[in-house]
Structure 1
Amino acid sequence: MKTRLLLLFSLILSALAGSAQDLDWNTYVDGSLNYTYPSVGNLPVSVNVQTSGSTSSLNLNEPNGRPTGLRLAADFPASGNCVSVKITFSQPISNLIFNMFDIDYSDGDSDYEDVVTITGSNGGTGVSPAIGSAATNTVSGNTITGTNGTVDLATNLVTFSSPVTEVTIQYCAGPSFALPETQEIYIGDFTWDDAPALPVRLASFSGKRVENQLLLGWQTTFESNSAYFVVERSTDAQAFEAIGRVTSRGFSESMQAYGFTDEAPLKGTNYYRLRQVDRDGRFEYSKILGLTFDAAGFYFEVRALDRGQIEVQTNAPDPAFALVDLRGIPQLGQVEKVSATRYLLQVTPSGLAAPALKIVQMRANQFGYARRVLLNE
């Protein structure tokens, strides 16, 4: 019995640790065209709700908070009349999910199309949702159009996989319009991650030697409220210092490229990392990049790849490689020469089972080089 109670307690803790934020429309003050939830979730987010457009077409006490969701019951006088509900978040939220209910064609005595268009943005940059299908409507892009009324409260699942700061739901009377009487739709409760949205998705981080400088470059595939990158350098991959700062795009869902030149690299191995900082001061670090700089003009670059492979780029002639862990135990399998300056090192199965931090060693022209690398998970 005691074991079962401990197991139950552990499951409860796990569920709480992974809980999501939740905006419950049932608590909405009925009839409010401008309403604010001051603090939603464990990581408090302020949520403002504004309703605009043909609000005179809304029934009394609409918008109306109900267990099903926020109801919009309207008696539109003509095709093309619309009301819009704009939901604004005080900070970017991740993985927003909600349902739309009862989008159909005909509802009781009325006989016209519900047309709902859902848009999002993150700091002014557009973000598109994914919208699931339902029996009573069709979905084209971010617009749902009613086709029949055969199912009560038919459900369309709406998902924003990218962070958003604003979502707008526009409800209109469609072009197929016969009886201008009351129809309604529901906006379901909002759920999103309880972790703050990270400012940047880093796609790559690499570097190379050009004459007496080391050039760093990196790419992002997504930026949300990002402010800048701090370039940090170290000689031992442990104690880092800032050597430069690069302003970021801020908001983007497309590939962005950045660069930085270390004009005075240190002799030997230079370790670099990026501190990605957003506009609220939150930050995260990139993986560590190691580049070798020496008077002989040889470079020695190491990067972890997937599935236990390590890429080495060097212009040293006839290099010999070794791979050990921090205890000095050999863990190098096959070495493949891909090009004149590129090699792939395969980690042994025992090496994959050991701690992920490795040391790549290279000997060339009676000189020895070493670089730490952290294997990808």
Structure 2
Amino acid sequence: MKRFVLVTSMLLVCLSGWSQDLDWGDYPEGEYSYTFTNIGNIPVDATVTLSGMVESFYTDYPRPTARGLELNNNFPTNGNSVSLRVTFSQPVSNLSFNLLDIDRIDGDSQYQDLVTVIGGNLGTPVTPTIGTASTNTVTGNAILGTNSVEDYATNSISFSTPVTEVTIQYFAGPDWEDPKRQFIFITNFGWDDAGLPVRLVDFGGTSVANQVRLGWQTSYEQNSDYFTIERSPDARAFEAIGRVSSKGFSERLQTYGFSDPAPLKGTNYYRLRQVDRDGTYAYSKIVAVGYDTEGFYFQVVVLDQGRLQVETNAPDPVFGLVDVRGLPSLRQVEQVGANKYLLQVSPTGLVSSGLRIVQMRAGNFSYAKKVLIN
């Protein structure tokens, strides 16, 4: 599948003129994780993590090239895959990039490329728009190689709403007889340089008396308008329960608050809808706050590297963590404050994504919360 073509220059037209740009040319060869820091006029960090069958990479891959980052693998059989995930330190708008050379080869070997692309905004799924190419077919978020008529055929990828993460999963496709070397390219990432309405640095809530009090802070605001506070009983269907006007323009720390006077008994899930004056918006992370008539609270926030932060004022809490099958996965609990605890899902920082159930018991007080680990 390797083609030897002399390339003197390559212009990534879809990214030209954008001041926010993740340039793969700076990626270190053969590394499975790397963080790009201070990208763009409004600085954004982007952390790249590769997982899955990374042992199938050829030496010094993934590798930056003139076409972008090359994933070059020798998968043993169909269904094998590697995943490349990019996580941004804050939401980015109108993210766009290209995928090159997703195809299928006939002749002395038969193997097939299959690529899926998914996005998210602090746990909320975001669906990309995927352009077509002559060498493959696009179904939903999946691109399947069907022929090899065109060299370096291009599939464009774009997100019309803000994202904080993108995952590209590269598979050995279902039509597979003679496994050999195969590859695809990921071009540079570009996004709007205007920035989102606000840069949210903190959002949390506690149960106090007969209400839930929410608080958040911003470190930057540009043309922001207001925050809509949304609540859900299951972290899926949200409804607006209030609105708070924002500062508008600020480069200093701003503090906001809102009280839910009628929280639901049990677990309440909250998020903020941050709205700009031109209608641009982004969602915050989702926080879970337990409400009980005794006045106890139980809040869970998903951190990075397989960690969960729990805040509760319940006395002598005992924690548990299970997956959807009921299998325990809690490795360690560390108390890091008077009412704050750190739960370690994995001692290595590497943890599979999926739904987890955080359990807490304290005397007669017992709660369980569902959290999504990405």
TM bin, normalised by shorter chain, reads: 0.5 to 0.7
Change (3 A) 1:285 1:184: closer
Alignment of 1:53-68 (within 5 A): 53-68=52-67
2:68 corresponds to: 69
TM-score, normalised to structure 2, is: 0.52
Question: Does the C-alpha gap of structure 1 residues 19 and 117 become closer, same or farther in structure 2, counting only changes over 3 Å?
Answer: closer
Structure 1 match to 2:163:
164
Distance 2:36 2:163 in 1: 17
Residue in 2 aligned with 1:153? 152
Number of equivalences: 217
Structure 2 Cα separation of the partners of residues 228 and 64 of structure 1? 39
- Does 2:273 correspond to 1:274? no
The match for 2:173 is: 174
CA distance in 2, matches of 1:281, 1:249: 23
Given the alignment of the two structures, is residue 257 of structure 1 paired with residue 237 of structure 2, yes or no? no
Query: Which residue number in structure 2 is paired with residue 192 of structure 1?
Result: 191
CA distance in 2, matches of 1:119, 1:35: 20
Q: Specify the structure having the higher radius of gyration (Cα).
A: 1
TM-score (norm 1): 0.52
User: Which structure 2 residues correspond to residues 46-195 of structure 1 after superposition, within 5 A?
Assistant: 46-106=45-105, 110-195=109-194
In 1, distance between residues paired with 2:71 and 2:108? 17
Within the alignment, does 1:23 sit opposite 2:6 as a pair? no
Change (3 A) 1:67 1:197: same
d(CA) in 2 for partners of 1:54, 1:157: 25
Query: Structure 2 CA distance, aligned partners of 1:48 and 1:195?
Result: 21
Q: Which shifted more, 128-137 or 106-115?
A: 106-115
Shift in Å, 1:141 = 0.6
Unaligned ranges ≥5, structure 2: 1-16, 200-214, 219-226, 256-273, 279-374
Give me the whole-angstrom Cα distance separating, in 2, the residues matched to 1:284 and 1:126.
19
Q: Distance in 2 between matches of 1:139 and 1:246?
A: 36
Secondary structure of the 1:195 match is coil
Instruction: Give 1:135 shift.
Output: 0.4
- 1:149-190 deviation line (CA, Å, top 9, x unaligned): 110000000001111111000000011001200010001110
How much does 1:112 deviate? 1.1
**Secondary structure in 2 matching 1:56:** helix
**Which residue type is aligned with residue 64 of structure 1?**
R
Q: Contact 2:133–2:154 (CA<8 Å) still a contact in 1?
A: yes
Q: Which has the larger helix fraction?
A: 1
Q: Secondary structure at 1:176's aligned position in 2?
A: coil
SS of the equivalent of 1:77 reads coil
Q: Contact 1:21–1:192 (CA<8 Å) still a contact in 2?
A: yes
Root-mean-square deviation over aligned CA pairs: 3.4
Following the alignment from structure 1 to structure 2, what is the Cα–Cα distance between the partners of residues 167 and 136?
23
CA-to-aligned-CA distance 1:177-224 (integer Å, 9 cap, x gap) = 012000100011100011222369xxxxxxxxxxxxxxxxxxxxxxxx
Residue 95 and residue 31 in structure 1: after superposition, are their counterparts in 2 closer, same or farther (change >3 A)? same
The 1:25/1:286 distance shift into structure 2, 3 A limit, reads: closer
Over 3 Å counting, the alpha-carbon distance change for 1:281 and 1:48 in structure 2 is: farther
User: Distance between the aligned counterparts of 2:276 and 2:64, measured in 1?
Assistant: 42
Given that residues 231 and 240 in structure 2 are in contact (C-alpha distance below 8 angstroms), is that contact kept between their aligned partners in structure 1? no
CA distance in 2, matches of 1:65, 1:168: 18
CA–CA distance in structure 2, aligned partners of residues 286 and 253 of structure 1 = 27
State how 1:180-329 maps to structure 2 within 5 Å.
180-198=179-197, 247-248=229-230, 256-259=239-242, 274-275=245-246, 281=254
Is residue 230–residue 238 contact of structure 2 (8 Å, CA) maintained in 1? no
Kept in 2, the 8 Å contact 1:228–1:246? The answer is no
Residues 38/130 of structure 1: CA separation in 2 closer, same or farther (3 Å cut): same
Aligned to 2:342: none
Which one-letter code corresponds to 1:155 in the other structure?
T
Over residues 319-360 of structure 1, what are the superposed CA-to-partner deviations in whole Å (9 max), with x where a residue is unaligned?
Answer: xxxxxxxxxxxxxxxxxxxxxxxxxxxxxxxxxxxxxxxxxx
Give the conservation status (yes or no) of the 8 Å contact 1:109–1:181: no
2:189 corresponds to which letter in structure 1? F
